[in-house]
């Protein structure tokens, strides 16, 4: 009975394994059929769409403008987004000095001693920032050195305001520029009339009359005519008449009258609004130097005169008034005399100290 029971148990176990195997095989066979059906179905659909069901494409390509004409709405051409280009950071430039007004009441610190000072009134200075955008700035001294330190808000930059100012001096007159492409039909001239008192050292006359006196006195009128140019150096002509006396020492008086003529040169080295300063020089030759001594003695001399003067000019609404002072040197030669007592002098020159007044005016001819 025991053997028979074991045989039944073994038979049941084998039957269970057999049913399980058959069920698994049936499931695998079903899955394979499904995959095969899907594969065959896909191939059939792709094959049918290759040439029959595809919509043909026009050979002629149309532009955006042509498509806009047939479209229901505007077609905006595609534009790629513009790439933002960020500038690179500029290098750190050294701050440049600038002109500024230092405010009243500002505190400045001496960079050498460290002492602090308060500015009692505003002043124009030269300054520069410690670095670009700094809250601290340096102030220059008269030697263009960094001498003081202050807060930047104490400074008001006036560099642009100063750039608007002209560099021309306010009280200096500038003649209009010459138009080289045209002909100037006028000559600009300056005329002057001058009266001069002359103190003469005359050892030349003292030798003739054997006297100890060597001083003579003369009075002179001069007329000067100059051409004015764009430059303040004028060329012209001068002429004058001179009358003088010399005490011979024995009660006789030598009197003479002489006429002069020669070229002149004037340089106006300082020209202001109300005043001007000039340097004048001329060289004149005596045209007729005749001397007469009491008692009938007559003598005729020849002479050449060199003159150097400084002239001050006062400008007014009615002309230019002048005062002048200068020195003169005159070389003398005796040409003829009716007196045998006059002896020839070894010294041949006279020296002048001259002072005088005058009036000059400008006009065009």
Does 333 share its domain with 194? Answer: yes
Q: What is the mean pLDDT of residues 335-342?
A: 69
User: What single-letter DSSP state applies at residue 35?
Assistant: H
Contacts for 212-220: CB closer than 8 Å, 24+ residues apart: 212/249, 213/246, 213/247, 213/248, 213/249, 216/244, 216/245, 216/246, 216/254, 216/350, 217/244, 217/245, 218/242, 218/243, 218/244, 218/245, 218/352, 219/195, 219/243, 219/244, 220/195, 220/196, 220/354, 220/356
Q: Model-level pTM greater than 0.85?
A: no
Does 308 share its domain with 205? Answer: yes
Does 258 share its domain with 345? Answer: yes
pLDDT band at residue 264, thresholds of 50, 70 and 90?
very high
Is residue 26 assigned to a domain? no
How does pLDDT run across 135-159, given as a tens digit for each residue? Answer: 999 999 888 889 999 999 999 999 8
Does 301 share its domain with 230? Answer: yes
Q: Of 162, 178, 211, which marks where a domain is finished?
A: 162
Whole-number Å distance between alpha carbons of 237 and 64 = 92
Q: What is the mean pLDDT of residues 197-205?
A: 89
Choose the most confident range, by mean pLDDT, from 10-19, 74-83, 284-293. 284-293
Looking at residue 360, what is its pLDDT? 94
Query: Higher confidence at residue 337 or residue 344?
Result: 337
Is residue 83 assigned to a domain? no
Query: Higher confidence at residue 95 or residue 211?
Result: 95
Whole-number Å distance between alpha carbons of 281 and 310 = 9
Does 268 share its domain with 336? Answer: yes
**Which percentage of the chain shows pLDDT scores above 90?**
36
**Which percentage of the chain shows pLDDT scores above 70?**
69
Among 148, 61, 145, 77, residue whose Cα is nearest residue 108: 148
Query: Higher confidence at residue 153 or residue 22?
Result: 153
Looking at residue 262, what is its pLDDT? 95
Does 335 share its domain with 193? Answer: yes
Looking at residue 332, what is its pLDDT? 86
How does pLDDT run across 51-98, given as a tens digit for each residue? Answer: 443 444 444 555 555 555 555 555 555 666 676 666 665 556 678 899
Other Cβ atoms closer than 10 A to 294: 12
pLDDT band at residue 186, thresholds of 50, 70 and 90?
confident
Is residue 110 assigned to a domain? yes
Residue with tokens 């003398």: 332
Q: Of 145, 162, 179, which marks where a domain is finished?
A: 162
Does 299 share its domain with 347? Answer: yes
pLDDT band at residue 363, thresholds of 50, 70 and 90?
confident
Looking at residue 242, what is its pLDDT? 94
Q: How many helices (H) and strands (E) does the chain have?
A: 4, 15
Residue 320 has pLDDT above 60, yes or no: yes
What torsion, rounded to 10 degrees, do the Cα atoms 83, 88, 89, 93 define?
A: -140
DSSP 146-183: EEEEEEGGGEEE-HHHHHTS-SS-TT---PPPP-TTS-
Q: Of 162, 179, 196, which marks where a domain is finished?
A: 162
Does 211 share its domain with 348? Answer: yes
Does 127 share its domain with 252? Answer: no
Does 205 share its domain with 241? Answer: yes
Residue with tokens 């002429």: 239
Rounded to 5 degrees, what angle do the CA atoms 333, 239, 288 make?
35
Choose the most confident range, by mean pLDDT, from 40-44, 172-176, 189-193, 361-365. 189-193
Residue 284 has pLDDT above 90, yes or no: yes
Looking at residue 300, what is its pLDDT? 85
CATH number at residue 307: 2.40.160.20
Is residue 63 assigned to a domain? no
**Mean pLDDT for the chain overall:** 79
Query: Higher confidence at residue 171 or residue 112?
Result: 112
Residue 187 has pLDDT above 80, yes or no: no
Cβ contacts of residue 3 below 8 Å, gap of 6+? none
Residue 12 has pLDDT above 80, yes or no: no
Query: Higher confidence at residue 326 or residue 59?
Result: 326
Residue with tokens 């792709």: 46
Domain span at 108: 98-162
Query: Higher confidence at residue 18 or residue 40?
Result: 18
Report residue 77 as tokens: 């051409």
Query: Higher confidence at residue 311 or residue 70?
Result: 311
Is residue 253 assigned to a domain? yes
Q: 113 to each of 59, 110, 117, 127, how far by Cα in Å?
A: 91, 6, 11, 19
Lowest mean pLDDT among 18-27, 98-107, 238-247: 18-27
Does 146 share its domain with 195? Answer: no
Among 239, 194, 233, 192, residue whose Cα is nearest residue 362: 192
Is residue 9 assigned to a domain? no
Is residue 3 assigned to a domain? no
Number of domains in the chain: 2
Does 277 share its domain with 239? Answer: yes
Is residue 38 assigned to a domain? no
């Amino acid at each position: 009975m025991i053997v028979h029971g074991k045989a039944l148990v073994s038979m049941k176990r084998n039957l269970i394994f057999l049913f399980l195997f058959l069920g698994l095989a049936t499931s695998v066979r079903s899955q394979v059929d499904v995959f095969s059906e899907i594969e065959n179905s896909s191939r059939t659909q792709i094959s049918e769409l290759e040439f029959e069901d595809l919509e043909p494409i026009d050979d002629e390509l149309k532009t955006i403008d042509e498509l806009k004409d047939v479209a229901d709405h505007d077609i905006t051409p595609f534009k790629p987004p513009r790439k933002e280009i960020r500038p690179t950071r500029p290098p750190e430039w050294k701050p440049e000095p600038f002109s500024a007004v230092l405010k009243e009441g500002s505190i400045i610190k001496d960079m050498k001693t460290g002492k602090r000072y308060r500015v009692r009134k505003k002043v124009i200075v030269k300054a520069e920032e410690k670095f670009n955008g700094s809250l601290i700035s340096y102030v220059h001294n008269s030697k263009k050195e960094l001498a003081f330190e202050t807060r930047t808000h104490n400074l008001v930059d006036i560099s642009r305001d100063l750039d608007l100012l002209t560099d021309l001096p306010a009280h200096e007159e500038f003649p209009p520029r010459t138009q080289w492409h045209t002909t100037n039909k006028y000559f600009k001239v300056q005329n002057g009339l001058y009266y001069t008192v002359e103190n003469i050292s005359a050892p030349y006359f003292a030798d003739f009359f054997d006297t100890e006196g060597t001083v003579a006195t003369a009075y002179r009128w001069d007329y000067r005519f100059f051409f004015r140019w764009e430059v303040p150096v004028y060329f012209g002509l001068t002429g004058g008449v001179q009358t003088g006396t010399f005490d011979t020492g024995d009660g006789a008086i030598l009197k003479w009258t002489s006429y002069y003529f020669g070229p002149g040169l004037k340089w106006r080295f300082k020209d202001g609004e109300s005043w001007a300063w000039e340097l004048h020089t001329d060289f004149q030759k005596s045209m007729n130097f005749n001397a007469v001594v009491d008692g009938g003695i007559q003598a005729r001399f020849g002479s050449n005169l060199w003159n150097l003067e400084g002239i001050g000019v006062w400008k007014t609404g009615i002309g230019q008034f002048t005062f002048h002072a200068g020195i003169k040197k005159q070389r003398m030669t005796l040409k003829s005399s009716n007196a045998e007592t006059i002896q020839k002098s070894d010294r041949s020159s006279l020296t002048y100290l001259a002072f005088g007044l005058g009036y000059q005016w400008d006009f065009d001819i």
